[in-house]
Structure 1
Amino acid sequence: MTGAWPLLRQLSLPEWRAHPWRHAVALLAVALGVALAFSVHLINGSALSEFSAAVRAANGEPDLSLRCAVREGCADTLLDAVAAADGVSLATPVVEVDTYAFAAPGPGAAGAAPARIALQVLGIDALQIAAVAPALLPRAADGQPRTAFLDPDRIFLNPAAQQRLGAKPGDALRLQRGLGTFTLQVAGSVAAGGGPLAVIDIAGAQQHFGLMGKLTRIDLRLSAGVSSAQLLQRLALPPELTAAAADDAAQKVSSLSRAYRVNLTVLALVALFVGGFLVFSVLALSVAQRTPVFALLGVLGLGAAERRRLVLLECLLVGVAGSLVGLVMGTGMAQLALRWLAGDLGGGYFPGVAPALAFSWPAAAAFGSLGIVAAMAGGWVPARQAAALAPAQALKGLGGTTGPAPSRWRPVLLLGAGALLALLPPLGGLPLAAYASVAALLLGGIACVPLAVNALLALLHPRRSALLLLAVERARHESATATVAVAGVVASLSLAVALTVMVSSFREGVSQWLDSVLPADLYARTAASSATADQAFLPPAFVEAAAAVPGVARVQGLRVRPISLSPDQPSVSLIARPLDQPAQQLPMVEPPRPLVAGEIGAYVSEAMVTLYGAEPGSQLRLPIGAASGVEVRVLGVWRDYARQFGAVAIDQADYRRLTGDTRINDLALWLQPEAAVDTVQAALRALAPDPALIEFAVPAQIRAMSLAIFDRSFAVTRYLQALAIGIGLFGIAASFSAQVLARRREFGLLAHLGFTRRQVIGVVAGEGAAWTAAGALVGLALGLLVSVVLVHVVNPQSFHWTMEMVLPWGRLAALCAAVLAAGSVTAAVSARAAASGDAVLAVKEDW
């Protein structure tokens, strides 16, 4: 490369100064791809790091944690048995509760209803907590008793809770339980980071949250020389307790959010992929413009290797500059996203986390390298063209290279490899083989372009028009060049088609699912998430009173609670509801099996089949009821687009018989025909001690809000589609510009033979129409193939749910028609300048 530097200064820099916008566009394309991918990585990495730090602060650093298998907690008498075990140096109990607290109204908000803020409350033994979790040690504020941490009516807030709730020491803080509230006094602070968190004496947590005689976990410090494995061998754990590492929660979120993060990164890298085609187009045009110079230098002794190194050095400079700009842009985009989106990016994996930017030099090096690789890959074909230049022919303006005949086996092998890769299972929980399948399909589709051009032109036999005959024969003769000209169109159109089909299929699936799960006229709830469902609930008395409200025909309650089925997986949602007709009450994938007398039936979501192997007919142990749990028979599988980690639905009567839990989290109400929704809502609010604790929604509102969230989540795909199509069209414009520049003497000869300027432009436009039509057909077919992989392979392997494929033919036809029209017009515009010169002078250049 060093030997090419003087040539770069002599040959390339003047051309760059003459046409700076071309290389600036290529550089910007690389920068944009790097910026999108790097910003996504920084956002997710920062959020995950902050979330992990918050979990470590809340959990502390015990040698081992023993967690209760059931969410209601287990008897605190287990603490004495564990503390007395050989090898245990310290055992400290903890009660974990998720509820809501009410923020103080801000300045100028007098009379406004206080906002409800989700709050995690930890009941601890403050005399022992410093040994395992110093960040949870309560610090009494000035003016508070030194023993305030032992008062069951005093609470200590971390910085996030203080900020969100606007609470300071001495203030009264209202917390929710059921449809009622109680008040605690803020007595100080704790140093734990993360989302809003509060610490209270364990006796106060048991008293205020209905957990008398219960605890949810026991944190252990082990004696010197004793490992966790050794202790577990000595200690026969009762079925109520399961062993867990301190950072299990962070690891669960990391592993389950990994598919989401990887898919976002791959989607962002689409911009880098199409950016490589833009680099190719710009370099191909640049090489074509300098063909006479390359040819003259070739005659004078400049070898093919030097010409190839020169073009590759240009690509390297574009890649390095674009990557550096992209890394700066990506860092800024990540900083803005973390400030405005709090690191969540719509995935819901890091609720309540407001992370600071965590810059990563290794990641910057990796994504910068990807930008350089994309630029070098984009310039490889122009570099080979410069190397394969035939100097004598190029000096005569007859084209400098003769492309090889299109291979018939290469596209078959690539497409076959793509099909085989799509059949492989996920690797490490990620659809890596499916991503490779998409890449193989794209490359195979691009390799099909010359064959598609030949097949299309074989159908055309213009015998009456010499002009059309010349255009068709010229296009047929240069079919190998068509790959260079419309490769960007094929790649960008196929990606646009695939994303359009995927998003349309997903949106239609969500829409049909919402129709199935929202049969009632009105819905009421007090808990906005399953995490707070145990403390923010609708009591049985409220449900009974709601059924008697005038205008209400019938009500149906639904209990949702998280349960843990595996220590290395996030919690699963257990849904208890009336299921006398499951085929009509749940969106079943296939008809359910009949219930066998004496067994308890359960219906699982698709994620349960993937994550836990809960096939219909199998048995599943649920940690409810007895200490050892209860066995249920899986009778069917249903679609659930709301809970990625799995859901289990059982009949409400079975659930209440097993657990005695009569709480309700969501209430569905069917109204009488003449009833007014507003009147019924007002009557229901009057039944609650605090009307602000109840939220109401009608199906149309839930549906509109859900689809609006969906559209916002997939808005990035629209930008990527527009970017891909724009780059593809720019690529075909640059490719045809390169073609006509290399053929300017040919056009001069045609003009000398009597062809008018309009006829010459028509010949090139005809070639462009033929090539673009072939590219559009290949791009459409290829996009449909890729969409099959996205819908039926990538999506189930990443998120564990399925959907029916929907083909929006109107939008797909509009995409293809726009590409065809734009390709023909750009070809004609490109030929306009080349055909505008004097014919005699153009032919004279040949001598």
Structure 2
Amino acid sequence: MLPALLRSFSWAALRHHPWRSAAAVAAVMLGVALGFAVHVINASALNEFAQAVRSVNGQPDLELRAAQGTLPEALYGLVATQPQVQLASPWLEQPVRATADPARAPVALRVVGADALVLPAMAPALAPRGFDGADRLAMLAPATVFLNPAAQQALGMGTIDARTPALQLQTGLSTHSVRVAGTVAAGGPPLAVMDIGAAQDLFGRAGQLTRIDLRLMPGTAAASVQQALAALPGWPAGVQFAAPQDEVQRVDSLSRAYRVNLTVLALVALFTGAFLVYSVLALSVAQRAPQFALLAVLGATPRERLALVLLESCALGLIGSVAGIALGAALAALALTMLGGDLGGGYFTGVQPALHFSTPAALVYGLLGVAAALVGGWWPARHAQQLAPAQTLKGLGAHGGRGAQAWVGLFLIAAGAFLALLPPVFGIPLAAYGAVALLLIGGIALLPWLVQVLLTRLRPLAVGHTLALLALERARRMRASAAVAVGGVVAALSLAVALTVMVGSFRGSVSQWLDSVLPAPLYLRATAVSANGDDGAVFAPAFADAVARLPAVARVQALRTSRLQLAPDRAPVALLAQPLGADPGQVLPLLGAALPVPAGRVGVYVSEAVVDLYGARPGADWPQLSKVFQAPAQAGQAPEATFFIAGVWRDYIRQHGAIALDAQDFARLTGDARASNLALWPAPGSTTDALRLQVLAQARQSLGEAAAESLEFVAADAIRARSLAIFDRSFAITYWLQAVAVGIGLFGVAASFSAQVLARRKEFGLLAHLGLTRRQILTVVAGEGAAWTAVGAVAGTLLGLAVAVVLVHVVNPQSFHWTMDMAVPWPRLLALAIAVVAVGTLTAWLAGRAAATNDAVMAVKEDW
């Protein structure tokens, strides 16, 4: 009979206090939902991306790519005849902007040139399927393409047949007309397939290949083939061997830091939920202490009382976890529909994945929610286990308690500071995340001590004011109860403060960085640029010189952007060539002064990501860059250069790294002086509109009417606004998480105060007998709430600033490989703290109304 009594006692406690139980359940649900949603979104996007890569690239055993630029076509004949190679497939890729209807906006399209004879064996998803009545050799015809379903949908073409209109493909300053002859089955972003020879002729890239895929003889090891090919006479420098899965791994590694940070934020919300479970059950155990004592008298053992409270916490965690899994799946489905699975970070642009529900992941996150609830319920369960039945039944078991000793909190904070100094593990700042957890736990452990210190110092101000003194004294003496009541809001507020400081610091640093890298008011570029090969280098030096001589132009600066594959398993780094002048610090946001470049060296300036990812240190030569800089197609045009790292600069756009060098050095080493963009400064007294008109007129004269129509002017202000808008979109989830976390923390405060005032009916009755009115009693309760939430606001703000230091100076550099200047928005933090105190005071006042309405005589009679 006793076990049944214990179970009914536990469920009755949950049913009779639904609001405070709902606070704990909601917090657990939020943490589980956010963590599971982030996992599902990323898993779905990465799975879709991997399938798209497999359908487009096929399943080769080995890929050959150029570290810079393209591969020479002669290399294909060399590798195809090797005895270890069963099949070789040449590829040429060309990003374009395509239109089928002039009334519709152009669509970003990836054109893939392939050998039609090897496609069925190497990449069957790209095998062309002509429409009814089409020529069987249409794949070999010039200026003929086959579209995948995503391209048909994006272009608004519907069913493809002989009546399908021609496509206009724009690349660089050129426009080409092609006909659509059929479809391909490959999924993923918009794609068009055509014969590789026809593609080379159409885009003027004769003799160039993007990559070569190899299918090896059965039993042949890829490593042995790499060694054999690299040892061939005349093997060009700069050829890299890549595994088929490297592209998926590159995207996975790029998005990993972003999704791990989002997951950690979700786990912080789960930590807040664990503390709210602790708060709810601690107050519940304190309120039901006589009942637990009675159960002990009836025969309940200490272990059974411990299990009873743990059962309650497990029930809260289980309900919150189940609801969190359902909510997380719904959030993931909504995000995949609205955002396309890029998590706000832009890592899976163009991918429209379907929901990929993972049962093992759901179980893991569900168990995390239950574990968090059990951790939160452990200490209240221990209190129920250790209470003395006789003393508790006599009313001697409830007291304020001293709470945890101050040294425990100080030790945890010191341990957190130590962890913040440790390096990342596998590129993830695990120690820094542990530091954040220890700081939060240590700060909350110090709450009783902080209540004692702060309220003792405020006591002289309350002398002479009876109600204020009464509220202050009780708040000070019940400091352990204060830690329980406001611990959840301290955790939530510290998270909100930390994120506010981190996001504000990041946004301010990005704004300053944009001012530095966008010195010109206007920029000129082609609307369709290539993402590989010549990387949109469309402006010849003669055109830049002609623009510089225009009356409305005061100054022109040519900028060149290309890509460099330093390692096959990592994303390419950006190679920026621009005039650096005598003082590169005036052009680049350098960290420190530029180092003098030794004679016979070429000075380069690397971003912080390059330092972390490739070990490039300022003041040293960089042999790795010297080895891969020159493209195989350009071999022999210039001697190999010895690069010297002359400085490190901040770059908030290219997480994979960027290298800057002087434009003259780039032109001398590559023999290519073309530019990707032109930075334009208007002449004194001239407007940007006049500058646009004159540059367009010069473009029509120098480049032709069609090429001039493909040019685009972009104002620096527009680039700045768009960059900050992307930044705000990426961090939108953090703003939402702040609001929800603080809301749940205040909900926990409401539940805590409600439980406490209901347990203090005798005290309120005594105060009423002593002559205090209902309004005065509510004033005392509100004063206690103000005192406790004020201490919580101070503690939460200080903890938040400490956590912000870790986020700004440790987590961000270790996760994203860039640093920032910390900026504290004091007005926003002050407003946040005042709002928390105001809402906490109001919550205490509202919670006290119910207890203060009880009849005073009946409340006091409970002591007779």
Q: Does the TM-score normalized on the shorter chain lie above 0.5?
A: yes
Partner of 2:618: 616
* C-alpha contact 2:482 2:788 (8 A) present in aligned 1: yes
Measured against aligned partners, the alpha-carbon deviations of 1:370-406 in whole angstroms (never above 9, x if no partner) come to 2212222333344334434454555555663663553
* Structure 1 Cα separation of the partners of residues 808 and 60 of structure 2: 43
Residues 667 and 5 of structure 1: CA distance in aligned 2, closer, same or farther (over 3 Å)? farther
Residues 469 and 19 of structure 1: CA distance in aligned 2, closer, same or farther (over 3 Å)? closer
Does residue 814 (structure 1) correspond to residue 831 (structure 2)? The answer is: yes
Shift of 1:444: 0.3
Shift of 1:813: 1.3
Measured against aligned partners, the alpha-carbon deviations of 1:130-182 in whole angstroms (never above 9, x if no partner) come to 22222222222222211122223211222212221234354322222321111
Q: Which of residues 625, 632, 637 is equivalent to 2:648? A: 637
Partner of 2:761: 744
Alignment of 1:595-610 (within 5 A): 595-610=597-612
* Structure 1 Cα separation of the partners of residues 410 and 289 of structure 2: 34
Q: Which of residues 84, 105, 118 is equivalent to 2:108? A: 118
Q: Which of residues 280, 290, 313 is equivalent to 2:311? A: 313
Partner of 1:702: 719
* C-alpha contact 2:318 2:369 (8 A) present in aligned 1: yes
Partner of 1:798: 815
Shift of 1:211: 2.1
Shift of 1:191: 1.9
Q: Which of residues 585, 588, 591 is equivalent to 1:589? A: 591
Does residue 138 (structure 1) correspond to residue 118 (structure 2)? The answer is: no
Query: Could you state the TM-score of these two structures normalised by the residue count of structure 2?
Result: 0.92
* C-alpha contact 1:395 1:846 (8 A) present in aligned 2: no
Partner amino acid for 1:587? Answer: P
Helix, strand or coil at the partner of 1:738: helix
Does residue 730 (structure 1) correspond to residue 747 (structure 2)? The answer is: yes
Shift of 1:261: 1.3
Residues 770 and 533 of structure 1: CA distance in aligned 2, closer, same or farther (over 3 Å)? farther
* C-alpha contact 2:61 2:214 (8 A) present in aligned 1: yes
Shift of 1:60: 1.3
Shift of 1:710: 1.6
Further displaced range: 347-356 or 814-823: 814-823
* Structure 1 Cα separation of the partners of residues 262 and 316 of structure 2: 25
Residues 20 and 402 of structure 1: CA distance in aligned 2, closer, same or farther (over 3 Å)? closer
Q: Which of residues 666, 673, 676 is equivalent to 1:655? A: 666
* Structure 2 Cα separation of the partners of residues 800 and 194 of structure 1: 30
* Structure 2 Cα separation of the partners of residues 648 and 715 of structure 1: 30
Helix, strand or coil at the partner of 1:379: helix
Partner of 2:702: none
Shift of 1:626: 6.0
Residues 691 and 345 of structure 1: CA distance in aligned 2, closer, same or farther (over 3 Å)? farther
Q: Which of residues 73, 77, 81 is equivalent to 2:78? A: 81
Partner amino acid for 2:152? Answer: Q
Residues 781 and 742 of structure 1: CA distance in aligned 2, closer, same or farther (over 3 Å)? same
Partner of 1:154: 144
* Structure 2 Cα separation of the partners of residues 673 and 3 of structure 1: 92
* C-alpha contact 1:4 1:310 (8 A) present in aligned 2: no
Partner amino acid for 2:503? Answer: V
Shift of 1:708: 2.0
Partner amino acid for 1:249? Answer: E
Alignment of 1:56-455 (within 5 A): 56-71=54-69, 73-97=70-94, 99-105=95-101, 112=103, 114-167=104-157, 168-170=160-162, 171-237=165-231, 238=235, 239-288=237-286, 290-392=288-390, 394-395=392-393, 400=398, 403-455=401-453
* C-alpha contact 1:179 1:690 (8 A) present in aligned 2: yes
Further displaced range: 495-504 or 366-375: 366-375
* C-alpha contact 1:124 1:202 (8 A) present in aligned 2: yes
Partner of 2:732: 715
Q: Which of residues 691, 702, 715 is equivalent to 1:680? A: 691
Residues 336 and 92 of structure 1: CA distance in aligned 2, closer, same or farther (over 3 Å)? same
Between the two proteins, what is the percent identity of the paired residues?
57
* C-alpha contact 2:552 2:694 (8 A) present in aligned 1: no
* C-alpha contact 2:100 2:166 (8 A) present in aligned 1: no
Further displaced range: 776-785 or 750-759: 750-759
Partner amino acid for 1:153? Answer: A
* Structure 1 Cα separation of the partners of residues 10 and 728 of structure 2: 45
Shift of 1:367: 1.1
Partner amino acid for 1:91? Answer: A
Partner of 2:562: 561
The alignment of Structure 1 onto Structure 2 pairs a total of residues equal to 837
* Structure 2 Cα separation of the partners of residues 554 and 834 of structure 1: 76
* Structure 1 Cα separation of the partners of residues 391 and 773 of structure 2: 25
* C-alpha contact 2:68 2:563 (8 A) present in aligned 1: no
* C-alpha contact 2:11 2:312 (8 A) present in aligned 1: no
* Structure 2 Cα separation of the partners of residues 117 and 545 of structure 1: 32
CA-based RMSD of the aligned residues comes to 2.5
For structure 2, the residue ranges without an aligned partner over 5 or more in a row are 700-704
* Structure 2 Cα separation of the partners of residues 48 and 834 of structure 1: 55
Measured against aligned partners, the alpha-carbon deviations of 1:483-538 in whole angstroms (never above 9, x if no partner) come to 21221122111111101100110010011111111111211222577726836443
Partner amino acid for 2:484? Answer: V
Residues 154 and 714 of structure 1: CA distance in aligned 2, closer, same or farther (over 3 Å)? same
Helix, strand or coil at the partner of 1:355: coil
* C-alpha contact 1:398 1:745 (8 A) present in aligned 2: no
* Structure 2 Cα separation of the partners of residues 561 and 227 of structure 1: 33
Helix, strand or coil at the partner of 1:648: strand
* Structure 2 Cα separation of the partners of residues 766 and 24 of structure 1: 26
* C-alpha contact 1:501 1:807 (8 A) present in aligned 2: yes
Further displaced range: 149-158 or 687-696: 687-696
* C-alpha contact 1:463 1:469 (8 A) present in aligned 2: yes
Residues 713 and 419 of structure 1: CA distance in aligned 2, closer, same or farther (over 3 Å)? same
Helix, strand or coil at the partner of 1:670: strand
* Structure 1 Cα separation of the partners of residues 346 and 91 of structure 2: 26
* C-alpha contact 2:99 2:107 (8 A) present in aligned 1: yes
Measured against aligned partners, the alpha-carbon deviations of 1:206-240 in whole angstroms (never above 9, x if no partner) come to 22223212222222122222211222233335224
* C-alpha contact 1:283 1:379 (8 A) present in aligned 2: yes
Does residue 671 (structure 1) correspond to residue 682 (structure 2)? The answer is: yes
* C-alpha contact 1:103 1:166 (8 A) present in aligned 2: no
Residues 219 and 767 of structure 1: CA distance in aligned 2, closer, same or farther (over 3 Å)? same
* Structure 2 Cα separation of the partners of residues 280 and 253 of structure 1: 40
Partner amino acid for 1:324? Answer: V
Partner of 1:772: 789
* Structure 1 Cα separation of the partners of residues 123 and 813 of structure 2: 39
* C-alpha contact 1:398 1:746 (8 A) present in aligned 2: no
Further displaced range: 460-469 or 496-505: 460-469
For structure 1, the residue ranges without an aligned partner over 5 or more in a row are 106-110
Partner amino acid for 1:84? Answer: T
* C-alpha contact 2:92 2:196 (8 A) present in aligned 1: yes
Shift of 1:272: 2.4
Query: Could you state the TM-score of these two structures normalised by the residue count of structure 1?
Result: 0.93
Helix, strand or coil at the partner of 2:642: strand
Helix, strand or coil at the partner of 2:568: coil
Partner of 1:838: 855
Helix, strand or coil at the partner of 2:674: coil
* Structure 1 Cα separation of the partners of residues 356 and 619 of structure 2: 47
* C-alpha contact 1:397 1:745 (8 A) present in aligned 2: no
Shift of 1:270: 3.1
* C-alpha contact 2:529 2:536 (8 A) present in aligned 1: no
* Structure 2 Cα separation of the partners of residues 676 and 54 of structure 1: 47
Partner of 1:108: none
* C-alpha contact 1:4 1:309 (8 A) present in aligned 2: no
Residues 248 and 708 of structure 1: CA distance in aligned 2, closer, same or farther (over 3 Å)? same
Further displaced range: 441-450 or 312-321: 312-321
